[in-house]
Every structure is written in structure tokens, then in C-alpha cells.
Amino acid sequence: MVTIYDIAKKANVSAMTVSRVINKSGKISDETKKKVEAVIKELNYIPNNSARNLITNKTKILSLMVTDITNPFFTNVARGAEDKAMQMGYQLLLCNSDENVEKEAKYMEMLISTRTDGVLIAPANDSSKRNIRNLSKHGIPFVLIDRNIQDLECDQVLSDNETTTRKLMEHLISQGHKNIAIINGPLEVSTARERYQAYIDTLKIHGIPLNRNLVMESEFRDSDVSSAIHHLLELPESERPTAIFATNNFIGMSTMKTLKKLKIKVPEGIAIVSYDGIPNYTESESILTVAEQPAYNFGYLGIQLLIERIEGTAPEKARKIVLPADIHIRASSIHKIE
């Protein structure tokens, strides 16, 4: 096995100089640096990270915990997180909780045992608080993305759920809709609560009474909205929805597919808007009105905040970044009704 002493001997420098080149520390002339790097490449030297970690107490490994990697939103979050981590000299480990707090807890235990330097987390739901506090007990910094946890003081990168929901709802209202159904995720998830509250508030602002019969709950993951759609269609004609607000992309896709199976035209029969973008490979993408979140920035900015916490350059007070979404009006909601 090649050691730094082998490199030092061949480059005719001290072992300390080789160490400084490898760790990018200390002042070294460009000529010496190039000479040492050439020998490192020639001898195919691979630094012993384990030994280095014992000295620095850092692994240079960050972890990203998402709730559903099959969701294109989180795929793009991961892309942004990895890019920023690599840019800052860190590697990224990906964990997928499947919206399951118990699975999330097992991952947290693994991350604690392997001494990850920090974790960027999209919590499964409110019960994730105990898992996250377990990180704190072991001195591991964390940042929340997409979803928040009440009474948990920490850095966060979140969506502007209130403004985005209001814009989607007001678009439907501008088309003449009053019977607007909502198909939402579980209310134990902060994004579902915030989008639901914004739905209620927007109706109230426009003088439209809230009809509880138009409020449906599904799952953000593996969404099957067929029973919710059937319930809505069985309502008396005066209550039946002329539009549906789907609170995430999977719910939006499932709603489109269900209405197509039932041979209900969109938007003539029922208009649809969706929170979150739809991947390009779906047939619904080109016609569905969506609020496109800057998913890449969630990951990129989240990792930046996390590294600042790890390296001690962050302010003492927790920071919150709220990212706006872009509204893309498409055919699924463009239909004026009387």
C-alpha cells in the first residue's frame, strides 16, 4: 500500500508537505503542489479517510432523508443537494423513508452510528420530531426541507404554501368555479395542513362557503383517489365539484387518470389544478395546470445551510428560506363556466 512517506520520498519533500497538499491546508508553493500531485497520480495513492476522520472528527459525508424518491420533486431535490455537497468537498448519502416514521427512525440510527456530519431532512410527518431530536442528542446538525415540525427550532427551506395555493385557487375562481373540491394528503404533514388552510382562507376571501363534502383526504405517496372521486360525483348536482385542487403531483396525476377512466372530460366536466410539477414522461404533463416548485434549490440551499452549521459559520439564530413556485396555466383548468 502506498503511503504519504512513499510520496514524500519520491517527490523529495517532507511527509508534512504531502499531508498539506492532500488536505489543502497550509501555504505551499504552486510548484511544490504540482510536483506532489503528480507523484500522487503516478503512484495511484488513495487517501485513508478513516484515519483522517479520527483526527478531524469529520467524515465529510452528509445525508439526505426524503419521503419518496420516486416523486420527481424529491429526485430533483437530491440532484441539487448532491451538486452542492460535491462543490463543498462533501459526499452525499441518500435515505428514503417512504413516508414511514419507523423506517425513518432506523435510518437515523444508522446515520448516528456511522457519524454522518449532518442531515438534510424532509420529515415523514409530525411524529418525526422524536427521530430528529435523536440527532440533536448526538450532536449531529440538521436542516428541514419541504416540511416543518412545530416547536422544532432549526434551519428550514420551505415552500410558500399559502401564496401558491391562493394563486391556484384564484385562477379557478376567475374561471367561474365555486364548487371547488380539494384532494389533500394526511393532515399530520405540515404541507397538507398549510395548503388546506390556504384553501379555506381563499374561499372565505372570495365569499365562497366551505363545503365539507368537497374536502377529501388521500396519501401524498401511492395516491389512489378513485374512492374520493366517486364520492364527489355522487354528491347532489348543486354540490358536485366543477373543479378539483390536488395538493401534490401524485394526487394530480391520479385524479387525471381516474377522470379519464370515468370518461369525464377535463376541463369541461371537471377542471383540475395541481400543487407540484408533473414529470415529462406522463401523458398528463402537457395539459395539467401546476405550481412548479424549484425542487433543485430546496436541495442546493438546504445543503448550504447544513454545511454552514457543520463548519460553524452559521448565525446562532435559526434561518428560514421560503421559496415561491411558478404557476403554469394549462388546458386542464382553462374553461369558463357560468
* Nearest by Cα to 121 from 110, 102, 107: 107
Phi then psi for 274, rounded to 5 degrees? -135, 140
Give 141-155 as a DSSP string. -EEEEES--TT--SE
The single residue listed with the C-alpha cell 483522517 is 52
> For the segment 165-184, what is each residue's pLDDT rounded down to a tens digit?
999 999 999 999 999 999 99
What is the model's pLDDT at position 289?
Answer: 96
230-250: pLDDT as tens digits:
999 999 999 999 999 999 999
pLDDT in tens, 78-125: 999 999 999 999 999 999 999 999 999 999 999 998 889 999 999 999
Note the pTM of the prediction, 2 decimals: 0.83
**CB–CB of 325/171 below 8 Å?**
no
Do 24 and 104 have their domain in common?
Answer: no
Does residue 69 sit within a domain? yes
Kindly tell me if the per-residue pLDDT of 128 is higher than 60. Answer: yes
Q: How would residue 50 be classed by pLDDT, with cut points 50, 70 and 90?
A: very low
Average pLDDT over residues 50-65: 69
- The CATH number of residue 195's host domain is 3.40.50.2300
82 and 23 in a common domain? no
For residue 36, the domain's CATH number is 1.10.260.40
Q: What is the pLDDT of residue 51?
A: 47
pLDDT of residue 57 exceeding 70: no
Domain of residue 90 covers 59-159+294-324
**Which stretch of 77-91, 117-131, 247-261, 278-292 has the lowest confidence by average pLDDT?**
278-292
Overall number of domains in the chain: 3
Phi-psi region of 168 (alpha: psi -120 to 50; beta: other; left: phi over 0): alpha
Q: What are phi and psi of 171, to 5 degrees?
A: -65, -45
